[in-house]
Amino acid sequence: MLVIPVIDIQNGRSVRMVEGLEDKTVYYSESPLNMARLFRKENAKVIHISDLDGAVSGKRKNYELIKEITENVGVPIQLGGGIRTFEIANQLIRELGVYRIVIGTSAIDNIDLIKKLLNEFGKSKVAISVDVRNGFLVKDGWGNVTNIHALEFALGMKKLGVERIIYQDVARVGTLTGPDVEGLKQIASETGLKVTAAGGISNYADLKIIQELEKFGVDSVMMSRALYENKFPCQAIWREQEKIDTSLELPKVK
């Protein structure tokens, strides 16, 4: 089970939007680059970056910061948030060198874009974010709820040639209340797609629960708050060592 640390960037800082709500945003660190370096030292094989400003506006406000991370951290970067045109996707993959782009709102609003991205870059470079609230898709930075059911949408993406989706119940994001196990199981088993789980993972027990879904196609998990707040015993060892031998900024919850 591949564990993918998540760095959410808003206004140049590392944050976490609890339940996907702006007024519940938790600030963690002034430097997303330092967070990426810390996750790399803790043996992350892939890091996911969510450009929250881009998700809302569709603009590349954090481009230079994300570029700094891709150029200095040395692990594959998966990037999502506001990727709504082919030109932006092309820039991120070919110029910025991100490992994979994650498409959310545009997969709902612009199917032709998804077809073009798959044709140009291949299945391995494109993942679709299936963000749900009460079983229905949300878009525009999770601000708008659609009338599209998650399973219906995922099956439609499969027909286009999509190979991987990232599934999360946004009401669980940042809450540490556990993953949407039934939702994950249903969407993985009924679509046959590769699924990355996200939202609500709080500890090792949650990881073991998700690991039991591997047989259905859930092969990886994205986490943020649990990692930021040191919910795993191994982290206590790593981060104590950080205090001794590095000047890296450690996250401070506010």
Give the residue numbers annotated as catalytic, written as ranges.
8, 131
Residues 6+ apart with CB under 8 A from 3: 44, 207, 220, 221, 223
What are the Cα distances from residue 47, in Å, to 35, 66, 129?
A: 10, 12, 16
The conformation of residue 58, written as its DSSP 8-state character, comes to -
Q: Phi/psi of residue 120, each to 5°?
A: -80, -40
Q: Where does 122-179 show beta strands of DSSP type E?
A: 126-133, 136-139, 144-149, 164-169
| Residue 231 token pair | 């919910």
Contacts of residue 168, defined as CB under 8 A and 6 or more positions apart, other chains included, come to: 129, 130, 131, 132, 180, 197, 198, 199, 200, 222
Stated as kind and residue range, the H or E segment containing 222 is strand 218-223
